[in-house]
Amino acid sequence: MRVTKIEYQKKDPNRVNLYIDEQFFCGISLDTLASENLYEGLDIEQEVIDRILERDLKSRFLIRVTEYLSRSPKTEFQVFKYLKELKYKKRGNWFKEDVDIDWEKLFNEIVNKLKEYKYIDDREFAKSFVSSRLRNKPRGKSVLISELISKGVSKDIAQEVCNENITDELDLIRKTFEKKYRNQTFDINNQKMIAYLFRKGFSWDLIEQFSQYEPEE
């Protein structure tokens, strides 16, 4: 096989289109071009071609996922989901559909690199999420744990973080109630109030305790 053409991309001068045996192979960065010492007329082995493509795809996916993380923190689960969706969107554009790539290995390498540099940290994500919820949308511990799990945080981390940050559930139910009902007094016979607190993740035992709650003077 031979590199028969290298042309600069019109939309991105930092990338070139690589042609192998007169056929378009893929787009690559100038860094990849230089590091692999590619030039027109170069005889090239399949092993090198595979390495070039994998290296360039890893770089492109890493750039995109870093931009994705810059908008707001994400869990490891959410990042893997994003990478898989991006792969689906870019097939036929960034790479041929029949390309022989170990995608699981590639995505694991990307995620591990992001974890190494603390771009992904499920425990820190959980702490930030719980803190925000308690500040802006207070709700019971069970709901918070379920929300974290739905975002891909492990059950153990979700429980640990919630236990660390919620030490007074009676005070939490008070704040949750006051967020909704302002200066109203809680009435345990009011079905709407009861239903609201249930939806926010509070148990009947805690609701009963709250009905007997007397704020300190």
Query: H or E stretch including 181?
Result: helix 169-181
Contact 203, 169 (CB under 8 A): no
Q: Kindly tell me the sign of the dihedral angle through the C-alpha atoms of 30, 34, 36, 41.
A: positive
Amino acid at 206: L
Q: Which residue has the tokens 């919620």?
A: 166
Amino acid at 48: V
Cβ burial, residue 126 (10 Å; 0-12/13-18/19+): buried
User: SS3 of 215, please?
Assistant: coil
Instruction: For residues 73 and 125, give the distance between their C-alpha atoms in angstroms, rounded to a whole number.
Output: 6
Which CATH code of 1.10.3720.10, 2.60.40.10, 3.30.70.100, 1.10.10.10 fits the domain covering 3-116? 1.10.10.10
DSSP state at residue 184: P
Sequence ranges of the domains in the chain: 3-116, 122-211
What CA–CA distances, in Å, run from 100 to 29, 48, 62, 160? 20, 13, 19, 41
Radius of gyration (C-alpha) of the chain in whole angstroms:
27
Q: Which two tokens stand for residue 125?
A: 């994500």
pLDDT at residue number 217: 45
Averaged pLDDT, groups of 10, the chain, 217 residues long: 89 87 85 86 87 88 94 96 94 79 93 94 96 90 94 96 91 89 89 92 90 65
Q: How many residues would you count in the chain? A: 217
Instruction: For residues 42 and 39, give the distance between their C-alpha atoms in angstroms, rounded to a whole number.
Output: 6
pLDDT at residue number 154: 96
Q: Write down the number of H helices and E strands in the chain.
A: 10, 3
Q: What are phi and psi of 184, to 5 degrees?
A: -75, 155
Contact 19, 6 (CB under 8 A): yes
Residue 76: Cβ within 10 Å count: 18
